Structure 1
């Protein structure tokens, strides 16, 4: 067992080394460093089975070390060494990528051995999962490209055939209608491929911890929505919060909801976006939520279909009535789940729909 130990306190250092030899037998090798920078440099250049890292070091205080470990990319499992009162910091670091934390006051051979073996096993599974996720993302991109290329080629060949037949003046109105139907079907297939790509990929990209300004998302979406809409669109919006998450996914989330509000409307679309902070109290704990409501004046949904509309490919209307893939709201639900949030829907036929988004 080769151990990387980053610890600057000589007394603690001696105690931890003794525990390592007791836990991993005399064949154990321990390389020690008293600064974070030197230890991480060794971690990047040598092979270790496990790393034991103190949080408070001469070149890095607890907060700085915590931030560094959050962003650290390594296949080596990390056990964070904490004081007894730093348990909450340790638990947070486990959420951010560390395999475990160990209060120095509780350190002994058996505990260190058990925690190290569990940490190595967990890290092994984590690396496998990350590699599988990367493979699936690559597969999704390849699949999207492989499907879109022949669709694009069919479109080009159809357009070329139409132009040649038009030059010969052999097309009548029925022929033009047939070519228009082909173009519409190709657009539908293209949207379906894009929808599938977005839908599959949302499960394999973590929510992330970017600061996402929802006001800016709305500003960027307006020209896209207004240019695509066939009628005048009115959006009335409260001042929205800045939340933590994956910006690309949040953009897709809001875009899907607003596009539905515009598409499923038989009059000039009016969309109202409201925001409030709500306080939730349960028997176990209490917490605050960002709650955003997006309400429209569209055709609404019958109550009996409310529970079905988040299912993939579930459509309540034919393609000839309203274009779509049946994946928009399924993707919305996946993105909210990915952000530890919740999506709720209230609707009444011919009276509009309200979609509620609740973010931590």
Structure 2
């Protein structure tokens, strides 16, 4: 999405000569919850002018117009704003012609009698444009780093030649200087390789999360919630029951979106945190995590038992987050009987410990044991249980950042067991970050 779109609503340029068709397009986007500002144009002159005073973030174009055509518009847009998605919204079009348009640079094609696909195509096009922008940014940074390395190597080479000419080094001295230069080049090359590897990881993280988990999404969401709350307080009496219902649904959706953004930001920050590991007391950490839910625990009569837990080298705040998420998960999915949580641990004598977090909640089918750790994956609808499906994904991210793993065993109606395997001393198991060891047999 262009930068000028990030601080406001999406700007949609609609190339369409029939105003009612344009209104149908706008209504479809609006019903899908897309915030936008639209401008309709129907000629080449007005199309070109829109790039000067409107700066569209996406173009939706009919194929045939009386004085202009979509294919010409596509060529013009490719020269003026090549990064702006261009989607054809048209009537019947032959398959060969549609393929030719896509080859010519069109982002997608939606038939007017299938406008229900439009919102999905628009979101996908904007997502792909953002990912392209992030990849280009990473590539530019890589090129700058490579250019900087080349300049440094050239400078070192030049310095070496000047030194050789000025001091007339002996053959042995020249050889030593050459060896030193090669070592420096190798070191710089190793640094560049490390930078490339980190850029690739960051780029992947950005592709998956940054385009949605950005701070820029928080501000418009706060405005939506604020104005909806004001409307509810000041205008509720002027609305009928249907209108109040619509307003309540908007407020509920905005609240869910806020929780989703918070969880996404928290998820992406786990990998980015680089705090130094230190020895932490797991028993104390679990106690602090339980205190966060003190009222719920008392009201529900929850029992939490802890065995002897070791001290391990870890990021204290992330360990607190891990057990806070596990306790919150157990409270959310408890059954009708009193909830019992038991936390124990054992060490394997090879520098690792396994922590067992057991509850007697509703449980789940074992076939979903991997799915529950993926972002946004839920086994129940949000009307049954609140949340967006990020808690356990954050737990896995934390475990992996510590060179460990987490898995689950469960059966419907019989509770669940979460097994977290972590190194006791981080400096003795650095290799674990690349290939975590097998789980111990319980």
The TM-score with structure 1 as length reference comes to 0.60
Aligned with residue 201 of structure 1, among 266, 269, 272: 269
Match among 293, 301, 309 for residue 364 of structure 2: 301
Which of 173, 176, 184 is 1:23 aligned to? 176
Mapping of 1:39-54 within 5 angstroms?
A: none
Return the offset for 1:218.
1.8
Contact residue 288 and residue 320 of structure 2 kept, 8 A: no
**Map of 1:325 onto structure 2:** 388
The answer to whether the Cα contact below 8 Å between 1:207 and 1:245 also exists between their aligned partners in 2 is no
Bigger CA drift: 126-135 or 296-305? Answer: 126-135
**Greater share of helix:** 2
C-alpha spacing 1:133/1:345, structure 2 compared with 1 (3 Å)? closer
SS of the residue 1:300 aligns to = coil
| Residue equivalent to 2:355 | 292
Q: What SS does the aligned partner of 1:359 have?
A: strand
Q: Is 1:338–2:407 an aligned residue pair?
A: no
**1:284 aligned residue:** none
Kept in 2, the 8 Å contact 1:207–1:339? The answer is no
- Cα deviation code 1:81-116 (max 9, x no counterpart): xxxxxxxxxxxxxxxxxxxxxxxxxxxx5xx65543
User: What is the distance in 2 between the residues matched to 1:317 and 1:278?
Assistant: 36
Report deviation, 1:330: 1.8
* Residue in structure 2 matching 1:145, options 200, 209, 215: 215
Question: Is the aligned partner of 1:353 residue 2:416?
Answer: yes
Quick one: distance in 1 between partners of 2:172 and 2:333?
66
Contact 2:369 2:407 in 1 (8 A): no
Cα separation, 1, equivalents of 2:275 and 2:172: 38
SS in 2 for 1:202: helix
The 1-side partners of 2:294 and 2:330 are apart by 12
Unaligned ranges ≥5, structure 2: 1-155, 158-170, 424-442
Cα pair distance change 1:216/1:133, threshold 3 Å:
farther
Which residue, out of 323, 328, 345, partners 1:275?
345
Per-residue CA deviations over 1:265-289 (Å, capped at 9, x if unaligned) read 133322111122123xxxxxxx131
Query: How far off its partner does 1:129 sit?
Result: 6.2
Q: 1:220 aligns with which of 288, 298, 317?
A: 288
SS at match of 1:321: coil
Corresponding position of 1:121:
189
The SS at the match of 1:354 is strand
1:186 to 251, 254, 277: 254
- Secondary structure of 1:187's partner? helix
Change (3 A) 1:131 1:349: closer
Where structure 1 has 5 or more consecutive residues not aligned to the other structure, the ranges are 3-17, 26-108, 280-286
CA distance in structure 2 between the partners assigned to 1:158 and 1:228 by the alignment? 29
Q: Which position in structure 1 is the counterpart of 2:309?
A: 240
Does 1 or 2 have the higher relative contact order (CA < 8 Å, sep 6+)?
1
Q: CA deviation at 1:340?
A: 0.8
Q: Which moved more, 1:252-261 or 1:206-215?
A: 206-215
Cα distance in 2 for residues equivalent to 1:19 and 1:319:
75
CA distance in 1, matches of 2:403, 2:173: 38
Is the Cα contact below 8 Å between 2:343 and 2:355 reproduced in 1? yes
Counterparts in 2 of 1:19 and 1:270: CA distance versus 1, 3 Å: farther
Q: Deviations over 1:246-282 (max 9, x none)?
A: 2222222222211111101133322111122123xxx
Number of aligned residues: 250
Judged with a 3 Å threshold, the aligned counterparts in structure 2 of structure 1 residues 124 and 335 are, in CA distance, closer, same or farther, namely same
What TM-score, normalized by structure 2, do the two folds share?
Answer: 0.50
Q: Select the structure that is richer in strand.
A: 1
Distance in 2 between the 1:302 and 1:133 partners? 33
Question: Residues 207 and 338 of structure 1 are in contact (CA less than 8 Å); yes or no, is this contact kept in structure 2?
Answer: no
User: Secondary structure in 2 aligned to 1:309?
Assistant: helix
Question: How far apart in 1 are the matches of 2:212 and 2:388?
Answer: 20
